Homo-oligomer: A and B are copies of this chain.
Amino acid sequence: MIYAVSPKMRTHGCRDVNSNNDGLKVLIGGWVQQIRDKGRLIFLTIRDQQGICQVTLHEKKVNPEVWRICKEVSLESVVSIKGSVKADPRSKLGAELIPSMIYIHSQAASKFPIDLTKMKTQMDIDTIFRYRELSIRDPEVVAIFELKNIIASATRRFFLEKGFTEIFTPLILTTSTEGGAEQFRLDYFEHPAVLAQSCQFYKQAALACHEKVFGIIPSWRAEKSHTPKHITEFWQIENEIAFATEKEIMDVQEDLLIFIMKEVLKEGKLQLELLNRTITVPSKPFKRLTFNEAKKKVQELGIEVDPQVDFGNPEETALSKAFHEPFFLTEFPTHLRGIYYACHDQNPKITRSLDLMAPEGFGELSSGGQRVSDYKILKERITQQGFNLEDFQWYLRMFKYGMPPHAGFGLGFERLIRWIANLSHIREACMFPRTPEIFQP
C-alpha cells in the first residue's frame, strides 16, 4: 500500500470502462466483487454504485507492487485503481482496465457473512435482513432503491408542477388521530404521546394555509401483521385539496400513477431490466367498483365473503389478481371508515370514499375521499363511532371556526414501490425495514 491516493479518489465510474473509451486513463473506486486468481493472471471484478468493470493483471506486464497488492486484496475490500481502458471484444463487458496503481482504502475481513451472488436462491430471509447493511450491496437490491428515488422524485415533481405545497406535519402526537389500529406509545416529557399513525388531521389543518398540500410523510402502526404488505414504519404520499370533491381525488391519483409510470419507464429502464420487471402505463379512467360490487366479484372468485366487514387479505389479493391495471373501490360503508369521511347525501350508511388498488395481487395502495367539513356532522360522527369529543378538541375547533369542503388521500409509498418493482414482500422496499421481527440494523 505504498501508493498515495490522489486528492480525487475517483475520476470515473466502473461503467466508463467500456469499449467506447479505449485508451482512456481513469481512476475508479469501488468494492472488489470477484477475484479470479489464475496463477500468473488475476482478474478482479470491481463494483461501484453504478456498475462493474473487469481489471486484468498479467504478472509479467504489471508493476510488481500492484501485483503484490492484488494478490493480497480480499473480497468486498474497497479500492481505488488507476489505469487505462482497453477495449476487448472477447470480454462480456466489452473492455477491461489495465492497472498502473491500486490503493486499498479498506481491506475487508475474510469470510463475508453472506453470499451476494446467491441472495435470491440460497440465502434465507432472516440472514439477509440480519446483515442488511451488507446484503444491500447486491445490485438487485440497489436497483430497488434507485427506482424508489425515481418514484419519490416523480411524485414530488407531479405535485409541485400542479401547484401543491409540500407540508411537514408533526410526528409525535398527544391526541389519537384515528384510534383503531395500534399505536407506538412514548413518554413526551411526562405526557403520554404516540407516534403518528397518519397525518390526517394535520394535512386537513394545513388547508388553512395552502389550497392543495402534499408530502411524503412517515407513519407508524404497532400491529403484529404478518402479511407481505405490512411494515410498522412506513411513508405515505399524502395529499389534501380544499374546495374539492372525491372526483378530483380520483383524477389526481390517475394522473399521478400515469406520471410516475412514465417516469419509471424513462429513467428506470436498467433497474426494471435487472429486476426482470415489465410495467405498462395504465389507461384513464381506471375501472371503478363499489364496495358491494367488489364483494360480489370476490365471491364469484370462489372466496367466502362477509359484506359487513372490510376486505381481508385473501379477499383483497384475489380481487387484485383479477385486474391487470390499477382500479378504484368506492362507496365503502360508513361503519368501516374513519370519522373524517363524508357520507353520501342520500345515504348516511355509505361514504364518499375510495381505495386505489394495485393489480396483480398487490392490493390496496391508497385510501381517500371526501371529508366531513361540517362541524355538527363531525361531532355526530365522532360520538357515533364511540369516541370522546374531548379527545378531538383542537381538531373540532378548526371546523367550528370555518372549514372549506375538501378531499384527499394517503398512498402507501412502500406499497407503490413493491408493486412497481414487483417485490414479494414490502420489507424489500425499505433499506432498513421495521417489522414486528426486524428492528435492527
Does A62 make an interface contact (CB < 8 A)? no
| Segment of A165-173, A252-260, A327-335, A360-368 in the binding face | A165-173
Given contacts A108-B402, A434-B172, whether A165 and B146 have CB atoms under 8 Å apart is: yes
| Distance in angstroms between the alpha carbons of A375 and B375 in the assembled complex | 60
| Distance in angstroms between the alpha carbons of A285 and B427 in the assembled complex | 43
Given contacts A202-B432, A242-B49, whether A175 and B211 have CB atoms under 8 Å apart is: no
Q: Measured between C-beta atoms, what is the minimum distance from A215 to chain B in Å?
A: 9
Does A289 make an interface contact (CB < 8 A)? no
Given contacts A136-B205, A431-B206, A441-B394, whether A105 and B404 have CB atoms under 8 Å apart is: yes
State which residues 305-344 of A face B: CB under 8 Å: none
Q: A392-427 vs B: 1/0 string, CB under 8 Å?
A: 001101111111110000000100000000000000
* Residues of the B chain whose Cβ atoms lie less than 8 Å from the Cβ of A149: 165-167, 210
* Residues of the B chain whose Cβ atoms lie less than 8 Å from the Cβ of A395: 133, 441
Whether B136 and A208, one on each chain, are in contact in the complex, defined by CB atoms closer than 8 angstroms, is yes
| Segment of A52-60, A217-225, A274-282, A349-357 in the binding face | A217-225
| Distance in angstroms between the alpha carbons of A189 and B183 in the assembled complex | 11
* Residues of the B chain whose Cβ atoms lie less than 8 Å from the Cβ of A49: 207-211, 242
With CB as the reference atom, state the residue of chain B lying closest to A433: B170
Whether A222 and B48, one on each chain, are in contact in the complex, defined by CB atoms closer than 8 angstroms, is no
Does A264 make an interface contact (CB < 8 A)? no
State which residues 152-172 of A face B: CB under 8 Å: 152-153, 156, 160, 165-172
| Segment of A16-24, A137-145, A292-300 in the binding face | A137-145
* Residues of the B chain whose Cβ atoms lie less than 8 Å from the Cβ of A30: 404
Whether A174 and B440, one on each chain, are in contact in the complex, defined by CB atoms closer than 8 angstroms, is yes
Does A197 make an interface contact (CB < 8 A)? no
Does A387 make an interface contact (CB < 8 A)? no
State which residues 161-201 of A face B: CB under 8 Å: 165-172, 174-175, 184-189, 191, 193, 195, 201
Q: Measured between C-beta atoms, what is the minimum distance from A133 to chain B in Å?
A: 4
Whether B133 and A167, one on each chain, are in contact in the complex, defined by CB atoms closer than 8 angstroms, is no
Given contacts A106-B375, A242-B49, whether A431 and B168 have CB atoms under 8 Å apart is: yes
| Distance in angstroms between the alpha carbons of A78 and B167 in the assembled complex | 22
State which residues 2-17 of A face B: CB under 8 Å: 5, 7, 9-10
Q: Measured between C-beta atoms, what is the minimum distance from A350 to chain B in Å?
A: 20
Size class of the A contact interface (CB-based, 8 Å): 35 or more
How often does this chain occur in the complex, in copies?
A: 2
Q: Measured between C-beta atoms, what is the minimum distance from A380 to chain B in Å?
A: 15
With CB as the reference atom, state the residue of chain B lying closest to A403: B106
Does A84 make an interface contact (CB < 8 A)? no
* Residues of the B chain whose Cβ atoms lie less than 8 Å from the Cβ of A439: 172, 174, 188-189, 191, 193
Whether B397 and A145, one on each chain, are in contact in the complex, defined by CB atoms closer than 8 angstroms, is no
Q: Which residue of B32, B113, B166, B402 is within 8 Å of A78 (Cβ)?
A: B402
Whether A172 and B220, one on each chain, are in contact in the complex, defined by CB atoms closer than 8 angstroms, is yes
Given contacts A146-B165, A156-B153, A191-B439, whether A208 and B9 have CB atoms under 8 Å apart is: no
Whether A211 and B432, one on each chain, are in contact in the complex, defined by CB atoms closer than 8 angstroms, is no
Q: Which residue of B168, B172, B186, B401 is within 8 Å of A112 (Cβ)?
A: B401
* Residues of the B chain whose Cβ atoms lie less than 8 Å from the Cβ of A242: 29, 49
| Distance in angstroms between the alpha carbons of A174 and B402 in the assembled complex | 43
* Residues of the B chain whose Cβ atoms lie less than 8 Å from the Cβ of A303: none
| Distance in angstroms between the alpha carbons of A405 and B171 in the assembled complex | 34
| Distance in angstroms between the alpha carbons of A142 and B213 in the assembled complex | 13
Chain A interface (Cβ < 8 Å from any Cβ of B): 5, 7, 9-10, 29-32, 48-50, 76-78, 80, 105-109, 112-113, 131-134, 136-137, 141-142, 145-146, 148-149, 152-153, 156, 160, 165-172, 174-175, 184-189, 191, 193, 195, 201-202, 205-211, 218, 220, 222, 224, 232-233, 235, 242-245, 373-375, 394-395, 397-405, 413, 430-434, 436, 439-441
Additional 6 contacts, C-beta under 8 A, given A106-B403, A149-B166: A106-B402, A112-B401, A136-B209, A137-B209, A168-B430, A195-B195
Complex A-B: 13 CB contacts under 8 Å = A31-B402, A76-B401, A77-B402, A80-B243, A109-B400, A133-B205, A133-B397, A134-B398, A137-B209, A142-B210, A170-B430, A170-B433, A174-B439
